[in-house]
């Protein structure tokens, strides 16, 4: 549609502002995940593509009537006529979604190649900058056209849509548009279609902004570092004298910032699994934003001696249930039958403290950083990994992983 003198820039300005909101929420410290998802979804699937389409096609839809051909002496070739006619509103919307589907993973891949990591805040910022770049190009290209040629959103479009699709008009019988209201039955069908679209949009928005029940959880894992500094599941010590440090990974998969108390204790255990002597060697308060993971270094000391020796790590969430929310054991010596006593390829045994919390059901839970390190979550599911690492379960049963 042809833009009026005061509206040809409005759509691009709104697109630019909407593209800024997700990064502003993240960097502004807003912790509500549903709000961040609701703001980030349009940025991922629509806004950058719309800005790019506007930069490529700044002109309004224009029908050349009658068609000009070389036979009339007004030689305009087909390519020129196609460019002058521009795109319809439906064309722009479809291309916007398709191009956004290509731009979003491309920006994510470039960020990963450049930094070696993937983070949603940086992706939101990158898409926002890219969208604003296309917005400026689109505004500059529209400004170079005459006022009647510029594409713009008609500020009176609600009235136009209502009259075209929800008011029956018999004079439209010859129209080729399939949705124009020619009779009362056409109006009824359009109303039904609008209701279906409204329900679908509402359902999709709710699904994206509301996490499934039982999906708020914490993760606790114990790993080591290899020669290249990567966290790996393996190489656990069988002797604490001069051993390399262990790293305790804590991840917040809840909606909101959480504060945890992390403790590490060296324990001597009898044959029945009862702790007969212990020495607390690690005590740390950890604060994590939603989706954030941190690794706490622990250099265990051989302060105790016994036939059955293990390191026990507990994680308590502030405001959680009584008792430890998560507990992980790393056997140093005297591991239970079916597991090895530390060392290369060791398979530590993990148990869950008696928290009195029912076990939610869930499927596999991948690790946020893609490291392949298995962790235990509140969903009762262990994420897959090619090697073993100490994890814990929610069913109160000691298991060998």
**How would you write the pLDDT of the chain (401 residues) with one tens digit per residue?**
444 445 788 999 999 999 999 888 877 767 666 777 778 888 888 999 999 999 999 988 765 544 444 444 444 444 444 444 678 777 888 899 899 999 999 998 888 888 766 677 788 889 999 999 999 999 999 999 888 888 888 777 778 778 888 888 877 776 666 777 888 888 899 899 889 988 877 776 666 555 555 567 788 999 998 888 888 878 888 888 877 899 999 988 887 788 999 999 999 998 888 899 999 999 999 999 887 889 999 999 889 888 889 999 999 988 766 666 788 988 888 777 655 444 333 334 333 333 333 333 333 333 334 444 444 444 333 333 333 344 443 433 333 33
Q: State whether 87 and 160 are in the same domain.
A: no
Q: Does residue 124 sit in the same domain as residue 186? A: no
Residue 55 is predicted with a pLDDT of: 94
The answer to whether the CB of 223 falls within 8 A of the CB of 246 is yes
State whether 226 and 309 are in the same domain: yes
Q: 61: buried, middle or exposed (CB in 10 Å: 19+, 13-18, 0-12)?
A: middle
| 229's tokens | 């500094």
Residues 366 and 384 grouped into a single domain: yes
Domain coverage including residue 83: 1-153
Q: Which of 130, 153, 176 is the last residue of a domain?
A: 153
Report the predicted TM-score, pTM, of the whole model to 2 decimal places.
0.48
Would you state the structure tokens that stand for residue 170, as one six-digit string?
């018999």
Whether 259 and 320 share a structural domain? yes
Close Cβ partners of 255 (under 8 Å, ≥ 6 residues apart): 31, 32, 33, 34, 211, 216, 290
- CATH number of the domain enclosing 270: 2.60.40.10
Co-location of 381 and 313 in the same domain:
yes
As for how many domains the chain has, the answer is 3
> β-pairing, 293-298 with 246-253?
antiparallel
- Same domain assignment for residues 379 and 269: yes
Residues 6+ apart with CB under 8 A from 266: 240, 278, 279, 281, 300, 301, 303, 304, 309, 310, 311, 312
**Same domain membership, residue 312 and residue 194:** no
Decide: 181 and 165 in contact? Cβ < 8 Å. Answer: yes
Q: State the chain's mean pLDDT as an integer.
A: 74
Q: Are residues 268 and 375 in the same domain?
A: yes
Same domain for 280 and 395, yes or no, is: yes
Q: Is 146 left (phi over 0), alpha (psi -120 to 50) or beta?
A: beta
Mapped to the 3 state alphabet, what secondary structure does the chain carry? CECCCCCCCHHHHHHHHHHHHHHHHHHCCCCCHHHHHHHHHHHHHCHHHHHHHHHHCCECCCCCCCCCCHHHCCCCCHHHHHHHHCCCHHHHHHHHHHHHHHHHHHHHHHHHHHHCCCCHHHHHHHHHHHHHHHHHHHHHHHHCCCHHHEECCCCCHHHHHHHHHCCCCHHHHHCCCCCCCCCHHHHHHHHHHHHHHHHHHHHHHHHHHCCCCCCCEEEEEEEEECCCCCEECCCECCCCCCCCCEEEEEEEECCCCEEEEEEEEEEEECCCCCEEEEEEEEEEEEEECCCCEEEEEECCCCCCCCCCEEEEEEEEECCCCCCCCEEEEEEEECCCCCCCCCECCCCCEECCCCCCCCCCCCCCCCCCCCCCCCCECCCCCECCCCCCCCCCCCCCCCEEC
Other Cβ atoms within 10 Å of 252 Cβ, number: 25
User: Are 36 and 127 in the same domain?
Assistant: yes
Same domain, 287 and 384: yes
- Residue 72 backbone phi and psi in degrees, to 5: -85, -5
């Amino acid at each position: 549609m042809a833009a009026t003198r005061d509206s040809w820039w409005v759509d691009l300005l709104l697109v630019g502002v909407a593209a800024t909101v997700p990064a502003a929420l993240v960097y502004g410290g807003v912790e509500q995940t549903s709000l961040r998802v609701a703001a980030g979804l349009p940025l991922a699937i629509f806004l950058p593509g719309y800005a790019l389409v506007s930069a490529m096609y700044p002109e309004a839809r224009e029908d050349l009537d009658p068609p000009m051909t070389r036979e009339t002496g007004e030689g305009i070739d087909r390519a020129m006529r196609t460019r002058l006619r521009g795109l319809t509103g439906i064309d722009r919307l479809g291309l916007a979604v398709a191009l956004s589907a290509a731009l979003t993973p491309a920006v994510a891949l470039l960020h990963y190649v450049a930094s070696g990591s993937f983070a949603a805040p940086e992706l939101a910022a990158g898409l926002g900058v890219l969208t604003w770049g296309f917005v400026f190009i689109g505004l500059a290209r529209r400004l170079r056209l005459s006022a009647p040629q510029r594409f713009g959103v008609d500020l009176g479009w609600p009235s136009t849509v209502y009259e075209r699709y929800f008011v029956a008009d018999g004079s439209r019988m010859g129209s080729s548009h399939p949705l124009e209201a020619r009779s009362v039955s056409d109006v009824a069908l359009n109303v039904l279609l609008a209701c279906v679209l409204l329900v679908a949009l509402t359902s999709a928005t709710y699904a994206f902004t509301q996490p499934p029940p039982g999906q708020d959880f914490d993760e606790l894992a114990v790993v080591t570092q290899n020669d290249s500094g990567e966290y790996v599941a393996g190489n656990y010590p069988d002797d604490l004298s001069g051993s390399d440090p262990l790293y305790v990974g804590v991840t917040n998969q809840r909606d909101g910032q959480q504060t945890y108390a992390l403790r590490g204790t060296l324990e001597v255990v009898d044959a029945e699994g009862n702790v007969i002597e212990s020495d607390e060697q690690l005590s740390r308060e950890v604060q994590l934003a939603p989706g954030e993971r941190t690794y706490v270094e622990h250099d265990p000391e051989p302060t105790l001696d016994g036939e059955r020796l293990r390191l026990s790590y507990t994680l308590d969430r502030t405001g959680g249930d009584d008792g430890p929310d998560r507990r992980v054991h790393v056997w140093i010596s005297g591991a239970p039958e079916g597991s090895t006593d530390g060392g290369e390829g060791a398979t530590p045994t993990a148990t869950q403290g008696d928290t009195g919390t029912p076990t939610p059901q869930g499927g596999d839970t991948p690790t946020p950083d893609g490291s392949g390190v298995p962790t235990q979550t509140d969903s009762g599911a262990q994420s897959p990994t090619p090697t073993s690492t100490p994890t814990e379960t929610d069913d109160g049963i000691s298991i060998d992983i």
